[in-house]
């Protein structure tokens, strides 16, 4: 019996990454491009992303940067329309945009509640809906949302953020069930604390860093490459039978 190696290539694909200017989003764009995909960068400031565009183009990929202010539905519609004008299709969506202003539950202000729910839940849904409609038309696609271990474990001072990520995980299961008949897979990747500009202030405090490490059986803070490996896998043909899944990249935090 002939055996074939699994296919992790994204050759010929078009991937849209939201929040692509830095951190996990930037790393996802670079990793998907390295795997062979052309890239649509969803960013707040197109001009400020010129260096990333140049880096990706230097790797031989076709790149489009689009202004994207989530959850502004008009921005989402314009970004998707621009992407389709340039590429005619979107094969992979990486939902990366999210916010996490933390506070003890009894001290949470309504403006912070609104921001988290609007960006993390409403924004993720509207972005997924807009791209999902196109994927249904083209009878195929991969949707990957960057969730968090916070959807699975309780983090003190992050009740609203945890709630929002749990909502994304369940939305993912619902959409996976609805869109499977269109050959659209929908999954989440849930990282632990990852070294990024956003986590740097928290992790630079030795007490915070040690408290975090105490929860991670593998004994280290994550790097963006730990996350993007999971994203490329779920976007690739190797994951064609996976949908409705939540892939934890948490060093064992959730099972410790």
Per-residue pLDDT tens digits for 130-154: 999 999 999 999 999 999 999 999 9
Burial class of 74 by CB neighbour count within 10 A (0 to 12, 13 to 18, 19+)? exposed
- Is 67 within 8 Å of 46 (Cβ atoms)? yes
Residue 2 pLDDT level (bands cut at 50, 70, 90):
low
Which residue's entry shows tokens 């995909």?
Answer: 37
pTM above 0.85, yes or no: yes
Nearest to 133 by CA among 174, 176, 90: 90
Predicted confidence (pLDDT) per residue in 48-86, tens digit: 999 999 999 998 999 999 999 999 999 999 999 999 999
- The answer to whether residue 3 scores a pLDDT higher than 70 is no
Homologous superfamily of 14-249 in CATH?
Answer: NAD(P)-binding Rossmann-like Domain (3.40.50.720)
The residues annotated with a catalytic role in the active site are 161
pLDDT of residue 160: 95
Q: Backbone phi, then psi, for 206, in 5-degree steps?
A: -55, -40
Q: Backbone phi, then psi, for 217, in 5-degree steps?
A: -55, -35
């Amino acid at each position: 019996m002939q055996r074939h190696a699994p296919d992790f290539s994204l050759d010929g694909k078009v991937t849209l990454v939201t929040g692509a200017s830095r951190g996990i989003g930037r790393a996802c764009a670079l990793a998907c491009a390295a795997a062979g995909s052309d890239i649509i960068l969803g960013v707040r400031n197109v001009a400020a992303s010129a260096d990333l565009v140049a880096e990706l183009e230097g790797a031989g990929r076709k790149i489009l940067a689009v202004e994207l202010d989530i959850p502004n539905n008009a921005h989402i519609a314009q970004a998707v329309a621009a992407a389709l004008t340039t590429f005619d299709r979107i094969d992979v969506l990486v939902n990366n945009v999210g916010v996490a202003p933390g506070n003890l539950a009894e001290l949470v202000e309504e403006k912070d509640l609104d921001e988290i729910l609007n960006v993390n839940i409403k924004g993720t849904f509207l972005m997924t809906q807009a791209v999902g409609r196109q994927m249904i038309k083209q009878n195929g696609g991969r949707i990957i949302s960057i969730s968090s271990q916070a959807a699975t474990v309780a983090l003190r001072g992050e009740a609203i953020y945890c709630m929002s990520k749990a909502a994304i995980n369940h939305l993912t299961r619902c959409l996976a069930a609805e869109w499977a008949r269109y050959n659209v897979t929908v999954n989440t990747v849930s990282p632990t604390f990852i070294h990024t500009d956003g986590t740097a202030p928290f992790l630079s405090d030795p007490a915070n860093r040690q408290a975090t490490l105490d929860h991670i059986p593998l004994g280290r803070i994550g790097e963006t490459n730990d996350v993007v490996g999971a994203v490329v896998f779920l976007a690739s043909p190797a994951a064609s039978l996976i949908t409705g899944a939540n892939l934890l990249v948490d060093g064992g935090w959730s099972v410790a």
